[in-house]
Each structure stands twice: as structure tokens, then as C-alpha cells.
Amino acid sequence: MTTSGAPAAEAARLLMPDYLVDAVASPALGYRDGPSQCPLDAVEFYVPPYLGSPDALTVLDHMPRLRVVQLLTAGFEDALAAVPAGVRLCNAAGVHDASTAELAVGLMIASLRGIDAFARAMPTGRWLPDRHRALADSSVLVIGAGGVGRAIAARTGAFEARVTLVGRTARPGVRGVDELPRLLGAADVVVLAVPLDDSTRGMVDAAFLRRLPDAALVVNVARGAVVDTEALLAETASGRLCAALDVTDPEPLPPEHGLWQVPNVLITPHVGGNSSAFLPRARALVAQQVRRFVTGEEPANTVGWGR
């Protein structure tokens, strides 16, 4: 991403990673000079890089004309506090649904069918034939009824699991979060797909985990802080529960952390959205958002305003 050397042109209104530039560099939109070539004091529409440094948000204070910050992540909890007053913050809702749902299903199958254990046995040439649980006929509770949660539910149902979708409030096809104390006791698998906010931080605590039946699997593709890490470590280390985690708290998980040593825990390094599915979806979203910005329409996916 370049931040200097731009000609004084309409293109100076946009700043985004170079891999998105040609998605919006259309003469019809007036960005023929290349929207990544842009001095900070001219930026009105900013797309921070995906998986970039936290410093990518510190430049916001040097953008006096800024009107829109378009994230490339669905999560926005860290960005909201950095956005200047009056600036619109948009997230990348929809961009990561398919990829994150795919990983969630992969984590379920790998854990239930013992694929992680088979992989660990390969270096020593151990042959471990055994009967493992199937996703088929399992009772799966997907907590989070947004785009990612719905995508997980759809794919999980295709494996002939019994899927229950849980959201903040009950509505057709979705159970309310207030029903969780009763629903947890019948869940073979719980998948977490909620945003991180005050209502979800630490929601999976010791009491939540105690309600799950023995051998239940907890899958987290949301945010690490949704789960009380020490409570999860206690339940998995005892062998009572299993877990498959794409996110942890803290993150990255330190090498000495106890979760790494628990045989019934599978950990991936926060790669739910980071797949080949990301770029084409990100380019389509940014192109749509820029068109809205240029024509004076309200951008989609507004999640807050700077304050």
C-alpha cells in the first residue's frame, strides 16, 4: 500500500491495498490515476490491509477528510475505538462466510472422526483403527445467526446432522440465546460464530461448559475472548470435553500454554477467513462500496461511527 507520490486527482480520495486497486480502477469511476497512490491528507475512503499490522489504524488520525473506513474483516471490535468522530465504519460481512464455515465443518469432522489423532500418530507409524463419532446424526448447536453462523448451519445440515441455530433473539428458524441453558444439555457439538462484544465476551464460561454432556465438542471460529480459556482448559484436560479452536485467548497462543498439550484439543492459527476464497469476495465488496461512495449512496455493512 502506497501513501505518497500521488498526483492531485480524484484518485487521491481512495487508499487501499494494492491487490484491490484494479477492482475499482475504472475510468467510469474517475480513478484512472490509481487509488493506492494517495497522500494521507486527501483520503476520504480507506481500506486497511487484511491481516495487516495494528499500525494500519494509527494513520486514521492523519486523514482529516476521511469519511469511510472499510474493513476486510467481519470482526470490528478493535477498529471501532480507533475511528475518528463522524467517520463511518463498515465491515466485510459476507466476505468470510464460506471460508469460515468450511473450516468450521472441517474442524468438526477432524475432531469427531479422530483425524487429528491419526495425524499425530503418523511420525511413529502407529496404525490406530478405531470407531469414531460421525457428524451425521449429531446434535449441533450453532451459536451466532449472522452470515457465518447461517453458512455453518447450512453446510453442517448437508452432513445429516441435526442443527439448531441460536441468535440474540428468537425468530423463525432461530432459537433465542436465553434458551441456551436448556439447549446445551443435548448438544454433541457447539459451534461459536458470534461477534465479540460486551454480551459475548466470556460467555462460554465454566457454567456454560458444565451444562454440556460428556464428550461434547466445542468449536470456536468466532473470537478467542468469547471463551474463558482457563475453564476450557480444565474441562478438556480432564478429558470430559473436546475442543477445536481457530481462535484463542491469548492469541497467538504462547508455546508453553497448556492447551497445546491436551490430546483432545485441535488448534488452527486463526485461518478461518484466510483462504483462496478471500480475494475475489473482498474485491467484489470493495468495488461495490466504492461505487456507492462515488454515487452518494449509503455504503452497506455499516457497523458503527467514530466517536
Task: Please list the active-site residues.
Answer: 223, 251, 270
Q: Let me know if 129 is exposed, middle or buried by CB neighbors in 10 A (0-12, 13-18, 19+).
A: exposed
CA atoms within 13 A on the CB side of 135: 23
83-to-78, 146, 183, 197 alpha-carbon distances in Å: 10, 24, 38, 17
Give Cβ neighbours of residue 203 (< 8 Å, ≥ 6 apart): 194, 226
* Residue 153 to residue 142: CA distance in whole angstroms: 7
Burial 112-127 (b: 16+ CB within 10 A, else e): bebebbbeeeeeeeee
26-to-35, 64, 274 alpha-carbon distances in Å: 10, 26, 27
Residue 132's identity, in one-letter code, is: H
- Residue in 78, 72, 76, 92 with CA at minimum distance from that of residue 16: 72
